[in-house]
Amino acid sequence: MEYETIRLSEREGVATLTLERPDVMNALSTQMRAEILHAVKTAEGSARVLVLTGKGRAFCSGQDLGDRANVNSLNMERTLRDEYEPMLMAIFDCAIPTIAAVNGAAAGAGANLALACDVVIATESAVFLQAFTRIGLIPDAGGTYWLPRQMGMAKAMGAALFAEPVSARQASDWGMIWEAVPDDAFAAHWADRARQLATGPSLAYRNVKRAIRKSFENGLAEQLMLEAKLQGEAGNSRDFKEGVMAFLEKRPARFEGR
């Protein structure tokens, strides 16, 4: 598939999905959502880590309000169910680690696109904005799911109600994202982070994602059982054997991945 609104590249196990509509701050159109969905599925089948980032001064400004002439409640519900949900679930369920490298403003659905990833690394000049109430809407694209889990109820409610920008440094301090990085070090830093994951134990990463996400549904006994099951899988892997040998031989581990 040839992409018109994004670019997908892969090098040394790292797939980089770049949003490429800088003239509209990478706003999400119907076509872009379809292309993101396809690219995530493609990367999942070939790479060991997936990075989402934006071209230009913004990561993603959210829904392209000029993409549809008739914006009404029924159409918005259909768009969220038919276009946003498959895209977001593909990212959330992706078998490989996902990183959002937030290079600039992330607003509305664009902010929540970033939060759908496993790890968010932002440049210090970036801001996150739940802009929805400014136009009479509620946070969507997973916003009401991600925010209370990552920021806590008080911060999530304030961010949603007041629709005020949250700086990358605030987002990091509040637990909304993993880290905020100085602008001049940002590109090299997220690339190093991606390479670190791309050379790591892929099965362990998949099981980490499964275990942590299920912890919100499980009681302690259920979670301990799940940990034991997933650890049993990891303990029988070649990566575990390699990790132990590397530790004993005092050398870096060489994980095989898939």
% of the chain surpassing 90 pLDDT: 91
How far apart CA 188 and CA 42 sit, in angstroms, is 25
* Predicted pLDDT of residue 119: 97
Size of the chain, expressed as the number of residues it contains: 258
pLDDT-based confidence at 224, cuts 50/70/90? very high
Arch. (CATH architecture) of 6-198: Alpha-Beta Complex (3.90)
Average confidence (pLDDT) over 202-211: 95
* Predicted pLDDT of residue 67: 73
Mean pLDDT, rounded, of the chain: 94
* Predicted pLDDT of residue 256: 80
% of the chain surpassing 70 pLDDT: 97
Question: Mind giving me the DSSP string for 132-145?
Answer: GGGGT----TTHHH
Question: Both ends of the chain: CA-CA distance in Å?
Answer: 24
pTM: 0.93
* Predicted pLDDT of residue 66: 80
* Predicted pLDDT of residue 96: 96
Q: Which two tokens stand for residue 254?
A: 């060489």
Average confidence (pLDDT) over 66-71: 60
Q: Which two tokens stand for residue 45?
A: 């089948």
Which candidate, 100, 141, 147, 92, places its Cα nearest to that of 119?
100
CATH of 202-248, one of 3.40.50.150, 1.10.12.10, 1.10.1740.10, 3.40.50.1100: 1.10.12.10
* Predicted pLDDT of residue 165: 96
User: Is residue 76 predicted with pLDDT exceeding 50?
Assistant: yes
User: Pick the residue with more confidence: 253 or 6?
Assistant: 6
Average confidence (pLDDT) over 12-33: 96
User: Is residue 74 predicted with pLDDT exceeding 90?
Assistant: no
Q: Are 245 and 1 in contact (CB under 8 A)?
A: no
* Predicted pLDDT of residue 69: 43
* Predicted pLDDT of residue 232: 95
CA distances in angstroms from 258 to 37, 80, 96, 147, listed in the order given: 22, 33, 10, 32
pLDDT-based confidence at 1, cuts 50/70/90? confident
| Domain ranges, ordered by start, for the chain | 6-198, 202-248
* Predicted pLDDT of residue 68: 61
- Kindly report, residue by residue over 142-198, the tens digit of the pLDDT: 999 999 999 999 999 999 999 999 999 999 999 999 999 999 999 999 999 999 999
Q: Which two tokens stand for residue 7?
A: 């670019």
